[in-house]
Amino acid sequence: MNLSDAKYYLNRELSLLAFNWRVLQQALDPSIPLLERIRFIFICSNNLDEFFEVRVAGLRHDLARGDTKPSLNGASTEEVLKDINVRAHELVDEQYRIFNEELLPKLAEESIQFLPSSEWNDEQYKWLKKYFKHQVMPVISPISLDLAHPFPRLVNKSLHFLLHLQGNDAFGRDLEYAVLHMPRSLPRIIELPAKVGGNKAHNFVYLSSVISEFAEDLFPGMEIHGCHQFRLTRDSDLLLEENAIEDLATALKRELQSRNFGAAVRLEVGKSCPNKIVNFLLQKCSLTADELYRVDGPVNLNRLMSLPELVDRPDLKFSGFTPKVPHDVARRGVYEVLGERDILLHHPYQSFQPVVDLVRQAASDPDVLAIKQTLYRTGSHSPIVEALIDAAHAGKEVTAVVELRARFDEADNIELAQRLQEAGVLVVYGVVGYKTHAKMSLVVRQEGKSKKLTRYAHLGTGNYHAGNARIYTDYSLLTSNPETCEDVHKVFQQLTGMGKVYELHQLWHAPFTLHKNLLAAVNREAKHALAGKKAMMIIKLNSLTDQSLIEALYRASIAGVQIELIIRGICCLAPGIEGVSENIKVRSIIGRFLEHSRVYYFFNNGKENLYAASADWMERNLYHRVETCFPILQADQKTRMINELKLMLKDKRQSWVLQSDGEYRLADPNADADTKVQQILLERLAD
C-alpha cells in the first residue's frame, strides 16, 4: 500500500477555509450570547484577511515563478487557487447572509440597530452632517484622478471610496473619478447620541453611509453620480534572504515599510457597485474577476469589532470569570511550592499570574543571579517584559531571545528588543533560518547557607502574552526538576552560543530530536497493537500537515491503534478510509476560547507518556523552528491532563467531526449546551 498516494490526503488551504467556516457557524448557535455571536463574524473576517495576505499571496508567488509541485492531495497550484476561489466566495456570501439576515434583526429586537441613510430623520441627518464636517472632513484628502494624479497606491485593507464625478473643478479640469482614503483613526461605526438616536437604545450608522451621503461637500459645484466603497487586500508576507542580511532588525524595518503596498490579491466592493466601476478598479489593481468579492454590507467587517464593547449589555455577552490561582500557590508563593512539586496551569481557566510572578519575584530577589527568557508575542504592555527590565536595572544577568519574525508582530518586537537593550538586557535574535517559537523561562537562584545554585523553569504551549492567556487555551508547567531545568539551560545555550547539538534528558526539541521522537512514539504504539496489546494515542494540535507523521499515523491505524486527533484548524490527514485510517477520528473544538495547546498522549503499554509542546505537526515547526516538547512527570498532574483530554473527546456541542472527504459535521447539534467542554472546565477550574 502506497501511503503517500495523494488520494489519502486533504488540501491544506481548503482545510484552513473549512476552519473559518466552523468559526462562522458559531454565529448561528443560539446558546451563545448575541453580541458574542456577532464577534465570531468579525473573527472570521479577520482570519480571511490573513488567509489572503499570506496563503493566497504565497500560492500566487508559486504560480508566478513556475513552481509546479503539487500539494499533498495532488492538486496543482492553479487548481488550488481555483478551489479557493469557489470556497472563499461561498464563505464570504454566507458571512454576509448571516450578518444581514440572522444577526442584525436579532440586534434590532434588543434595541441595537444600524440605520441606513434612507431611514435618517431630519434631526439625525443634521447631526451626522455636522459630524462629517467636524470629525471626518478635516482628516481625509480626496485624490482626483487625472494626468497629474494617477491612480494612488492604496494601503492594504484600508477602506476607500471611488467617486464618479461630472463637471469642471476650480482649475477647469473635467474630472471623472476621485478616490477617498479613510484613515484608520476614523471609527467605522458611529453611535448616535440618545437625544437624536430614535426609538432604540443604541443607534449606529456605518461610516460608509456617512461618506456616501455627504461626499458632495468635498467636491463643491460638481455632480456625484456614484460613491462606491472598496477595499484592497495585499500580499503581506515578508520575504527576507536571511543569510545575506547582516542586521536583521534593520532589514525588517525596511521591509515593514513596504508591507502595506505588496501585490494585490483581493478586491472587495459593495454589492451594488456598477460593472464599469468594478472593471476600472480591477484594471488599476491588476486583478481578475475571480479575485473580486461583492459584499452585501461594509467591506471591512472586522473593523466593526468594537461593537460589543460599545454596547453595555452584560446579558448579551459571555459571563465574566476570574482565572483561578491554585490555592497553595496563592497562599505560599510560586518558589516555595516549586521547592516541593511542579505547578501545572491550564489557561485561561487558571491564572497566568504565577508565570508572571516567577519572573517578577526573581527581578527583585537578591538571591537570583540570572534570568533567561524567550519572547515571541508579548503584547504592548507586558508584565513579563517590565519584570525583565526591572531585573536588568537591579544588576541581574538577563538574557532575552526575541523572535523578530513573529508574523504581524515584527514592528512590536523590534521596539521591544530596543527597550530591553536600553535597559541592559542581553538581547539575542535567535538563529538565522529558524524562528524561535519555544516558550521558555529560566531563573538561576542561589539558596541556603551553601549558596547552592538552583534553577526554576517555565515551559508553555502559548505565548508570554497576558491578554492571550485569557482567550487562548494553553498549558504552563513551572518546575524545579533538575533534569528539566538543565535541558532548558542547554536549549538557551544553543540559541545564544555555538556548538554541537546537546543531548537532552527530558525535552524533545526541534529541529533536532522532536520529529524523530514523535515518529518513534507513534511507531511504538503500532508495534504494541501488532503484538495484540492495547494501543492508543490522543494528539491535540492546531495543525497537522507533515506527511511523514501522517503516514506513521496511517500505519498505526492499519496496525489497530485507536487514534484520537483533536485538531483545531488545518488537517491534511483523511480519517475513516477503509483499510487505512478507519481507526482514526479527527475532531475540531470551536468555542468561546481559541484552542491553542499542543498535547501528545501515548498509552505505551500502560506507561502512559504525556507531553505538552509549543509545536504543531507541521513542516515549519519540526524542521525550521526552535520548539520544545516537555513531559508531564508528576502523577497527579498527568492524570488530570489525560482526563481533560478525554473530556474533550466527549464534547458533542462544540466538537466538529472530520469526514474522509474533508467536510466537518457537528458531533450532535441537539446536545445540551452544558456539555460544552470549555464551559465544564471553566466551572471546574475558574472561580
Q: Specify the DSSP class assigned to residue 315.
A: G
CA angle, 78 then 80 then 83, to 5°: 115
Sign of torsion over alpha carbons 289, 293, 294, 298: negative
- Tell me the CA end-to-end span of the chain in Å, nearest whole number: 53
489 included as an active-site residue = no
Report the DSSP beta bridge partners of residue 90.
Answer: none
At a CB cut-off of 8 Å and minimum separation 6, what does 513 contact?
504
Q: What is the DSSP string of 435-488?
A: EE---EEEEEEEETTTTEEEEEEEEESS-S-TTGGGTEEEEEEEE--HHHHHHH
Q: Compute φ and ψ for 182, nearest 5 degrees.
A: -95, 115
User: Quick check: 186 and 303 in contact, CB under 8 A?
Assistant: no
Neighbouring CB atoms inside 10 A of 180's CB total 19
Q: Distance between CA 189 and CA 127 in Å, rounded?
A: 15
Sign of torsion over alpha carbons 542, 558, 642, 666: positive
User: Quick check: 439 and 459 in contact, CB under 8 A?
Assistant: yes
Q: Distance between CA 252 and CA 263 in Å, rounded?
A: 18
The residue annotated as part of the active site, out of 437, 509, 515, 528, is: 437
Buried b (16+ CB within 10 A) or exposed e, 612-640: bbbbbbbebbbeebbbbbbbbebeebbee
- DSSP H/E element including 591: none
Q: Distance between CA 657 and CA 193 in Å, rounded?
A: 46
User: Quick check: 566 and 19 in contact, CB under 8 A?
Assistant: no
Find cell 437604545 and name the residue: 201
CA angle, 538 then 540 then 542, to 5°: 155
Show the 3-state SS of 58-91: HHHHHHHCCCCCCCCCCCCHHHHHHHHHHHHHHH
The residue count of the chain comes to: 687
Find cell 458574542 and name the residue: 36
Q: Distance between CA 152 and CA 450 in Å, rounded?
A: 70
Active site residues: 437
